[in-house]
Chain A
Amino acid sequence: MRWALLCPLLLLIALPISMLLLSWWQVDGAVWDHLAEHLLPRLVGNSFLLLFVVGLGVTLLGVSLAWLSACCEFPGRRWLDPLLILPLAFPTYVLAFIYLAMLDYAGPVQTLLREHWGLSPAWLDAISGPVGVIPIMIIAFFPYVYLLTRTSFANAGVHTFEAARSLGHAPWRVFLSVSLPAARPAIVAGLSLALMETLADFGAVSIYGFDTFTTAIYRTWLGLFNLQAATQLASLLMLFMLVLVLTERATRDVRAAQPERSQSGRRIQLGPCLRWLATGFQVAVILVGVVIPAVQLLIWAGPDLASLFQSDYLELIVNTLKLAAWGSALVVIGGLLLLAASFRAKRSISMIAELPAFGYAIPGSVLAVAIMLALTGLDRWLGTALAGGLGALLLAYLIRFLRIGAGSLEGVAAKIRPQQLEAARSLGAGPIERFRRILLPLLRPGLIMAFLLGLVEIAKEMPATLMLRPFGWDTLAVRIFELTAEGQWERAALPALVLVVLGSIPSILLMRDRWVGQTRSSQ
């Protein structure tokens, strides 16, 4: 039964991934020697640095903001809270080119400082250099941690915190020893999404010239004309991610169950100073992650705004929405299948159920090439026409973003009690009724979250969409690519702005507690 659920997914995903693994059939020694001597030591080092600093950054930022939003009371909280998710609506490459264009030597900020005050601060120089991609990624990826952790904190409520406080422990110690461990699964789930995005990113790192392992993949493919060695590198990247997540899974304490939803709705009242500090902190993050980039896009797009209504933008928007909706629906279904297969299963099966979700760590164009090779191979064998169709692109979305579906459902799955299902069965409820009346209400928040996150991510996806889209399926991301191909980023401001506005709708919905935040335990 479990295998019947798991097998179709495993097969679908095995297609492109086996293409990655098959690349090891033949190893080009000369290329590997070159890579090992001149590229890999530095690039692997860079990648680890990026993983470590971005990981630390998104955790600190995401967890602290989540705690403030979920458990504390301070001025403006209601207004600021939903805005904190909005950096998610910006594609990372768009954030990257906005900030680079603003902050580099020839950009407006440094020019102003230089010409009016004769200032040339070294730190500005530094963050417009290669390491500048680190803060960009932290801003772009912290919402994953924030979103998942906030839900977890909100469900736990503050009563355990207050109980521990009443025993005379300092607030910090209570936070670290009581509240934080309870939220660990959520933090880890958000962090692993952020780290996989970090590893797979090519757009932002190449805009900033920060060379990572992904750079080596592309350099081998495009510069050394060696796609085979490039896919070998990509399969190593995937393996690394696999080891990381399986280690986490193996060490996870299964007894640390999700706490029951607290119904109190009480919040910690911060002191007079701290209250305003909290407000200032959230405002600062929103300024950097949302307001400043949005204003810059508006300034660039200003002269073009009229063309929004006369050109083919409507078609681009419709295409973007359709692809995002279909792809996201697939991601939700895939996530459900994985959940069903691994629910209360032996550890070995639940480990295998992790496998299909690893597409997230494969850079988009490598995945696209693998899918294209696999499908054209199938086409030739079976006489089908899969490779040129929409199905190829949707398959790419499913593989790339299945992790989002699986991750979103993981949290709510812990709340399913087999006894309830047993009881329903003994009362004569059929499988459909049991699913509809017991599972669906429990899973609903996770399903909605998976769908909304999927929408945002797929709308932003660029490389696989570029490579696998059939004729007439240009999207906003495709338009951004076309306009930025020659490095004139400000020309792409209009499609980027439209994409951000579209992406912010599901992002804001993600913050609606009513939908995704709480699971009303079915009393």
Chain B
Amino acid sequence: MNTVRLLGAVLVVSGFFLTGCQPADESDIEPATAREAVEPVAGVATEPQQTESNPLVVYSSRQPHLVEPLFEEFTAQTGVAIEYINDSEAALIERLAAEAEDTPASVLITVDAGNLWLADERGLLQPLASDFLNERIPEALRDPEGHWFGLSVRARTIMYHPDRVDPADLSTYAQLADPQWEGRLCLRTSRKVYNQSLTAMMIERLGEENVEPIISGWVSNLATEPFSSDTRLIEAIEAGQCDVGLVNTYYLGRLIDEQPDYPVEIFWANQDSTGTHVNISGAGVTTHAPAAAQARQLIEWLASDAAQQKIAGSNFEFPAVEGIPLHPTVEAWGEFEADSMNLKIAGQRQVEAVMLMDRAGWR
């Protein structure tokens, strides 16, 4: 046992010597500052020893094909290597919480502000004071204290089949509770956080006692049991199982991408009142980030014009930064007024929302 320990200690010490000496031989940069440097340093980038330029570790719940090209671009531009783990938000948050100060992760990337809020609420994200981010990301899409920042925007709104629905009959989310939609509405399961966030925001605006009858109305208007995916929901509208539904717009974008004349249309809800409900995918720096400087560098880079253009071009979402050109498919949906309430609410009221959905029988 003791010999094993001794051997380990020898290895560690010799590792220190090796990695500590090598860059000093080749250049004059001191290892300690090189590790903290935000700007890529030539000596670090070419450094063959792993220990010197530790990769920036990211916990991400976004689909790999969406984040990987961004990470690759970031590494190419900055020399900071990225290693990431993909899992569901809840698992990543528990992982961060359990690892606490020993976490290898410096950045958390998830979809839905509710998840970012939860991570923050549990003390897993640290504030990031960045004028650059505060200037570029609209106020509603970031945490007021800088614990997380939205990087792409998705709208959850009404979709309908143009042959069976006159858009003049559509107006607000609440109006879908009207008996005229009986047997014509499709919803996704209330398990999905997108629906929980929408309900949470409605509770903030209208009050619990007014939202419950709306949700009950939706439930009694359902054409069929709630779906387990937005894509299947849109397909059900297309196939005639129902006429209207609540869906994130990028799901329709993907279907239009495969079939340009896809016969389902978008209606921007609540244009005369609160604006359409939007949500974000976003990122924050973990509280015990081993590489906070690189973490900041990554998040700021993701808000840069170049990255935002990539984001806007890849998933039919909206860029978080204004003035970035939209994907042509997205642009064709026309302009709309988005809800400007801070998305923190989506997290703060999620428990209320879930309980309300349970009471109203939304499965």
Contacts and interface: CB of A to CB of B under 8 A. Distances in A.
B249 to A, nearest CB: 13
Contacts of A481: 86-87
A105 interface: yes
A296 B147 CA distance: 45
B351 A225 contact: yes
Given A34-B358, A223-B191, A369 B94 contact: yes
Nearest to B92: A467
B63 interface: yes
B102 interface: yes
Interface string A215-230: 1001101111101000
Contacts of B10: none
A483 B57 CA distance: 21
* Most chain A beta-carbon contacts within 10 A, residue among B104, B238, B251, B363: B363
Given A209-B189, A224-B355, A368-B91, A379 B102 contact: yes
A429 B232 CA distance: 67
Contacts of A106: 232, 235-236, 238-239, 241
B240 to A, nearest CB: 8
Interface in A102-137: 104-106, 110-111, 129-130
A466 B226 contact: no
B104 A388 contact: yes
A112 B102 CA distance: 56
Interface stretch (A344-352, A440-448, A485-493): A485-493
Interface in B155-208: 189-191, 193, 196
Contacts of A373: 98
Contacts of A487: 228-232
A110 B239 CA distance: 10
Contact of A388 (B63, B99, B254, B358): B99
A344 to B, nearest CB: 36
Nearest to A375: B98
Contact of B87 (A209, A222, A466): A466
A206 interface: yes
Nearest to A468: B95
Nearest to B89: A222
B340 interface: no
A365 interface: yes
B51 interface: no
Contact of B236 (A105, A130, A471, A485): A105
B363 A376 contact: no
B350 interface: yes
Contacts of B230: 486-487
Contact of A105 (B91, B102, B191, B241): B241
B358 A225 contact: no
Contact of B88 (A211, A215, A225, A466): A466
Contacts of B196: 223
A206 B228 contact: yes
A487 B194 CA distance: 14
B87 A467 contact: yes
A129 B227 CA distance: 9
A5 interface: no
Given A218-B191, A224-B355, A225-B351, A376 B228 contact: no
Interface in A431-473: 463, 466-467, 469, 471
B86 A482 contact: yes
A104 to B, nearest CB: 7
A387 interface: yes
Interface in A351-384: 365, 368-369, 372-373, 376, 379-380
B363 A211 contact: yes
A227 B98 CA distance: 13
A228 to B, nearest CB: 12
B86 A478 contact: yes
Given A105-B241, A206-B191, A365 B63 contact: no
Contacts of B98: 369, 372-373, 376, 387
Interface in B80-114: 83, 85-88, 90-91, 94-95, 98-100, 102, 104
A246 B61 CA distance: 40
A222 B195 CA distance: 13
B232 A209 contact: no
A208 B95 contact: no
A224 B351 contact: yes
Nearest to B64: A482
A225 B63 contact: no
Given A387-B102, A485-B63, A485-B88, 19 more contacts: A34-B358, A38-B355, A101-B232, A104-B236, A106-B232, A110-B239, A207-B228, A209-B228, A209-B363, A223-B350, A223-B354, A372-B98, A373-B98, A379-B102, A467-B94, A467-B95, A469-B85, A487-B228, A488-B229
11 contacts: A104-B236, A105-B240, A106-B241, A206-B228, A209-B227, A223-B354, A369-B91, A372-B95, A385-B102, A469-B85, A481-B86
Q: What 4 pairs across the A-B complex have the smallest Cβ distances? A: A487-B229, A106-B239, A106-B235, A223-B354
Interface of B: 57, 61, 63-64, 83, 85-88, 90-91, 94-95, 98-100, 102, 104, 118, 189-191, 193, 196, 224-232, 235-236, 238-241, 251, 254, 350-351, 354-355, 358-359, 363
